[in-house]
Amino acid sequence: MLDVVDLVALRPGGQKLVYAGSSQGVPVVLKVISLMPPHQALVLERARREVLLLASYNDRRIVSVRSGLAVLGDPAAPHGVAWLEEKLDGADLGELLGPQWAPSAVAEFIEGLAGGLTLLHEADVVHRDLSPGNVRLRADGTWTLMDPGLAKHLRDLSITGVFQPGTPGYRSPEHVPGGTPGTHSDVFCVGILAFAALTGELPIDPSGDERSYFARLRETQCASVSARRADTPTSLVELVDGCLDRQPARRFLDAMELRNAAAQVREDLQR
C-alpha cells in the first residue's frame, strides 16, 4: 500500500488507523480511513480536505504529507482511503502533560503552538481538535500541529454533518450542538492545553454523560488558573484566562493575536 514496508500499528481501532513504516528508505506514517456507510461521502471529503490542507504548507509547525490521497478498493465504491505523512521525532503533548510545567515553559508553548495555528487562521481554517494527541514537540523544540481532519474551512460550506467535532475535555463552548466554532474556538482550546500544563487538571470536567458535559461547556466560566496554581505570574494568568473566557468576543481574536501576546509574556518572564 503506497509502497510502505515494515508497518507497525500506532493507533489501532476506530475509523482512522495509523501506522509507522518506511517508504523508499524514509520513515513515514501511513493513515488509513475506512469509508463506512452511511457517511462515506462526508468522510471521503474530510480526508480529501485534510490532505490538500497539509500539502499546502511547507513549515515545520504543521506536519507535512508525503503522498496524495489513495483510494482503496473499487474507485466507484471505495472501502477506504490512505495517505502518507512525515514521521515526526519528539513526543506528543499527551506524553508530556502530568507534572506541572514551569510558567516560562507554558508561555513558550502557547507562543509556539499559536505560531502554527496562525498559518491555519490566515487561510480561514479552524483546526477544531486541538487535543494533546494532535500536538507534538519535535526534538528541536518546534511545536507541530497534526491531524486537522476535523478542520473547518471558513470559506467553504461546513461538512460537519452528523459528527460532533473535537475531543472530550478539549472542546470549546462553540463545540456544543448548534455552536459555530471559529478562530476564537481554537484560542479557547489552546487555553485548555495551557491550563492543563500549568495545573495538571482540565478547566472543565468532561466526565459523565455528553449532555451534562455540553451543559457545563455552555454555562460554566472556567476558574482562573491562579485559583489552581497560585504561583502563576500575573501576566501568564491574564494570558491563559483571556483564552478561556466563556464569551468568544472577550478572548483573543485569533492565533496571531494570541501569539503576539504570548511572545510578550515570554519576554517578560525571561527578564
pLDDT in tens, 198-212: 999 999 999 999 999
Residue 59 catalytic? no
Q: Are residues 132 and 243 in the same domain?
A: yes
Please name the residues in contact with 176: beta carbons below 8 A apart, sequence gap of 6 or more. 214, 217, 218
Identify whether residues 71 and 35 lie together within a single domain.
yes
The three cell numbers locating residue 164 = 460532533
Given 32, 64, 86, which residue is the final one in a domain? 86
What backbone phi and psi angles, to 5 degrees, belong to 89? -85, -175
Do the Cβ atoms of 11 and 18 come closer than 8 Å?
yes
* Residue 190 belongs to domain with CATH number: 1.10.510.10
26 phi and psi angles, rounded to 5 deg: -110, 130
- The pLDDT value recorded for residue 46 is 84
Range of the domain at 43: 5-86
What's the CATH code of the domain at 66?
Answer: 3.30.200.20
pLDDT of residue 157: 47
Q: pTM value?
A: 0.92
Question: Looking at the 3D structure of the chain, how many domains does it have?
Answer: 2
Under a CB-based contact definition with an 8 Å cutoff, are residues 244 and 191 in contact?
yes
DSSP assignment of 95-131: HH-SSPPPHHHHHHHHHHHHHHHHHHHHTTEE-----
Cβ-based burial of 151 (10 A; exposed 0-12, middle 13-18, buried ≥19): buried
Model confidence over 226-249: pLDDT tens digits?
999 999 999 999 999 999 999 999
Regions of the chain where pLDDT drops below 70: 1, 12-15, 149, 153-164
List the catalytic residue out of 6, 59, 92, 129. Answer: 129
Count CA within 13 A, CB hemisphere, residue 253.
5
Host H or E run for residue 81: strand 80-86
Q: Are residues 14 and 140 in the same domain?
A: no
